[in-house]
Structure 1
Amino acid sequence: MTRKYFGTDGIRGQVGQGVITPQFFMQLGWAVGKVLAERHADGGGLVLIGKDTRISGYMFESALEAGLIAAGVDVGLLGPMPTPAIAYLTRTFQASAGIVISASHNPFRDNGIKLFNTQGVKLADDVEAAIEHQVDRPMVTAERLGKARRVPDAEGRYIEFCKGTLPWGFSLAGLTIVVDCANGATYNVAPKVFSELGAEVIAISTHPDGENINLNCGSTKLNNLQKQVLESHADIGIAFDGDGDRVQFVDERGEVVDGDQLLFIIAAHQQRHGGGCSGVVGTQMSNFGFELALEALKIPFERAKVGDRYVIEAMNNNGWKLGGESSGHIVCADVTTTGDGIIAALQVLRALNAEAQTLYELKQRMQKMPQVMVNVPVKRKLNLDENDMVQTAIAEAEQRMEGQGRVLLRPSGTEPVIRVMVEGQQHGMVSQLAHELAEVVGRATS
């Protein structure tokens, strides 16, 4: 389904460019309110608005608030909160919808929104289509204006929810954990969750100034976390992205443990101690070693297109409760409705506790295949399937790997790049082929 405004992960772009303007956000708020009013007997009810820490969030929060109130909808303002917290609180308050103002792992110059329905899951296609249709209509003042209020206990509710996903009496006492909050939405919540469970917490990147979100920190820039883990002799390092729906770990040796490895640790724990793991959904980018490790444990595995929307869709179709991406966007559907970095981290820590092993030891049960990805900036759209030069280069690369690897090229859903991924048994060859393919793609799009 072609969307004019909504992508696979909401609406996102650079502030002041395209539709990422206060005027559009006010119109969007009005459109959301009008659609909700048409679909809910109570006239639209309550809509919650949360945001991450980027400086433009305050401006867009006000614009959305004005549009929603003009449509006759009441608004609850949550302030800076992780994306999954807004999903949870939308369910808890039985709100008609939840809106997150965030550009996730992107730099502070970008912003956007994600929307959740009353069940705390992303909006259905027909609802997004109705909102898009309403956005383009003239905005008029509602007969009954809505009201706005702050929600003062949102943080405490979410912290208790996170802790409540673990067994009664679970403790992190004796563990030293470095927590990198990316100067983002988890800066005030995540350290409290782990410390209240008994861990000694060293919190870094917890001083947002509106412009330093994701800046050389968080789940996309792990150097500072690795350094801090080694210098403090910590047991584990945990990094979130700007809006808190992704997580990456660093083990006691300073080595990165990515989303595929974390997913495997959770799945293996469920298979051994949780009554079994019904199956796991990964993506086209999931490491082949991940698939083989699950197969060895007799855990079914399926690949979906990249994007949590597609992962959750495949999980629902199969009736499975676990899925995610190598980026660290992990969905534990047995305890929550969307990707949640803190929840996923707690599930990993639960597995470590049950196995009585270090993270370095536990991750050895899955052997990753060498995988190299190159992002190629594009100046114009390119149909990869119909470009003879690109397809010939892919065929030659696959032939050189003699069936012992795979090639994947896909446009990014959030950036103007094409991601070139090559995976195989020999790192030297994999790296060479990835860069050769990237050069071909670059020529094709120039």
Structure 2
Amino acid sequence: MSGANRQAVIVDGLRTPFGRAHEQKGVFRATRADELAAHCLRALIARNNLDPQLVDDVIIGAALQLDELSLNAARQIALLAGLPVTCPAVTVNRLCGSSLQALHQAVHAIEAGAADVQIVAGVERMTGQLPPSPAVFHPQLSAVTSRAALSMGLTAEFLAQRFRISRAEQDAWALRSHQLAAAVHPVAGLLPEILPTPALSEAGTSFMATTDQGVRADTSLAALAKLPPAFLAREGTITAGNSSPRNDGAAALLVMSAERARALGYQALARVRATTVVGISPSEMGLGPVPAIAKALHQAQLSLCDLSTIELNEAFAAQTLACIRQAKLNPSLINGRGGAIAIGHPLGASGARLIISLIHSLHLSGGELGLAAMCIGMGQGIATVIERS
């Protein structure tokens, strides 16, 4: 494992379709979160004919670590997936950035010579999960933030007002997300990134899901304009239509040292060039990607003009548009396969999903460099730069 200038590469990645977090209509309403993640791990190992004994660690991100995702769920998931008892596992939590953080930790371990083969994953089952009450936060946090700032919906409203992002602009971005995602979906069952996953139809019949449940090819600006504000009843512009929904889903990546990947005969999909996290004011939660992107590009010794594509997690259209403006991003390079407003945002799984989408975008377009970035609740940002192999 030792050696100078070690590089971490991504050998493969796949995910479940993302289902709606709905107790009557969600396609994964009867599926446990740990089973969704184990399903991804089993498929990743089988698809790559990987000897499980070679896996040094399993790192899984999850934001709502409750019920079946409590008590270091990564260890339970690894065992469910058939990994040997000698393979360790750890669950990490950086809220929405959890599985991107899991990737970062795997990369750091490889670059340090502490590991050669790691499985990274993210999972969330938001069906039946309620947002935490503001009462759980320590009263002394009021010295640096407010209860209103701890509501991501209200921080999105703040950004919309601060940067004068209109309801019409937000709805237009949401429509774009659905249209781009819908353009991919007709062949989604044939794409290697989507793992067919046992599911229940709204009528209660079993089937294999191959597409994301929330993508609406038939939506329109008129339909989006009819939706009421979700957080501020009168002057609000944030609605269910221009926000990411609540979802169930999982995603997984196979990460190795470049040296070990070559020795095992794997053709890497991409190598990781930079990994960064930042903190910002909780009241500006959605702007976390702006300094994270700048820091990642500096670390990789790149500029924005070097990037071929960007995956920017769409927590809210207002937040996404604010980041585009503040970071001076080219909108045409962002989320070319649709974003979280359409695809979904199962918190802990979204970071790994962004990387999978980014890799496929680079390979389909022939681009060389891409970046994934996310905002994180309570004021953080995370970004990752990858280079197509």
After TM superposition, the score normalised by the length of structure 1 is 0.32
Q: Tell me the TM-score normalized by structure 2.
A: 0.35
Q: Tell me which structure has the larger Cα radius of gyration.
A: 1
Higher normalized contact order (CA 8 Å, seq sep 6+, divided by chain length): 2
